Structure 1
């Protein structure tokens, strides 16, 4: 399904090449640069807030979702992500665990921003550590999340959830 973007493309002509596909959810982005692990990639500066989460939104904080108005929208999910979306600092960085090379597909780990997904899906990233079903951080095993950088709001919500679970377990004893 080809959707006409509301912004002028390319939005990041020195960083991102968008590859269009006639397949539903088939568009993706490639890197036009090589950068070391942890390096700054781009600012998240073109967006608008929306009331409800959707497959195209990024959770910015509990109950706040934004739609990207740039080619960053085409950064898809992977269980071996190339990038990290930091919605506290409103920036995108190269993943802390690997280098980004020119031509790499631009991906990030969706549960790093999403506690619950609007549209859970079966991941087909083919990464050796693929987690399978992606439904948001709240639905994942904590040991699986330990491998990833997570946004502050996701960490805080998971901590509250775990605290509530500990209280329930303690009161059941």
Structure 2
């Protein structure tokens, strides 16, 4: 999955209504993959940010999130605007179908809503050069999914069960 792209409006010049207007705002950009989501609320570390309730099964694509070894979903919500970061603010827990604040720091209003794509994706549909700005030693650079990353590169990241299982099998 590459950084979120804008969904196609339903009618000419009309955007779909926000799905989480009390939780996040979407800053839209005309630049490819330039849009992003930002928190409207403060939450403590580990708190549930949102339940994933509007998802539908989908084929592997840059807009989907991997939920299991061979399954993907379309989020069908503003959560699709949560971009990748190597220093994420959120965890997408596909086993619980919820989005949580990372365990090591709280979320503040105005923070970019990001997650570590290899935590859900074994093989990315569209690989990309990371520009998260997390800094040397933190930013992983080329993002192509957990399959191509070493155990050391993934150490310290929260990973979904299907990713942990595939990593164990790889050994």
Q: Could you tell me how far apart the structure 2 residues matched to 1:151 and 1:72 are? A: 17
Q: 31, 35, 39: which is aligned to 1:27? A: 35
Could you tell me whether the CA contact under 8 Å between 1:33 and 1:101 is conserved in 2? yes
Query: What is the RMSD of the two structures over their aligned residues, measured on CA atoms?
Result: 1.4
- Deviation per CA, 1:15-41: give whole Å up to 9, x if none: 010000001111100000011111111
Structure showing the higher helix proportion among its residues = 1
Residues 126-170 of structure 1 show CA distances to partners (whole Å, capped at 9, x for unaligned) of: 1021000000001111111111000001000110111xxxxxxxx
Query: Does residue 1:73 correspond to 2:77, yes or no?
Result: no
1:4 maps onto 2:13 in alignment = no
Q: Indicate how the Cα distance of structure 1 residues 76 and 5 shifts in structure 2: closer, same or farther if over 3 A, else same.
A: farther
Task: Provide the C-alpha distance between the structure 1 equivalents of 2:42 and 2:17, rounded to a whole number of angstroms.
Answer: 21
Aligned ranges 1:1-173 → 2 under 5 Å: 2-4=6-8, 8-50=16-58, 52-128=59-135, 129-162=138-171
| Post-superposition CA distance 1:86-130 (Å, at most 9, x none) | 000000000111111000000000000001101010000010210
Over alpha carbons, which structure has the higher Rg?
1
When normalised by structure 2's length, the TM-score is: 0.90
Measure the CA separation in 1 of the matches of 2:8 and 2:93.
26
Supply the distance in 2 between the matched residues of 1:81 and 1:34 (Cα, whole angstroms): 15
Structure 1 stretches of at least 4 aligned residues deviating more than 3 Å after TM superposition? 5-8
What does the per-residue CA deviation read over 1:30-70, in whole Å, with 9 as the maximum and x for residues that have no partner? 000011111111001111101x3111110000110101100
Instruction: Mark the runs of 5 or more structure 2 residues left unpaired by the alignment.
Output: none
* Structure 1 unaligned regions, length at least 5: 163-173
Q: Distance in 2 between matches of 1:62 and 1:119?
A: 18
Give how far 1:2 is off. Answer: 4.5
TM-score (norm 1): 0.89
Question: Is the contact made by 1:9 and 1:71 (CA closer than 8 Å) also made in structure 2?
Answer: no
How many residues are aligned here? 161
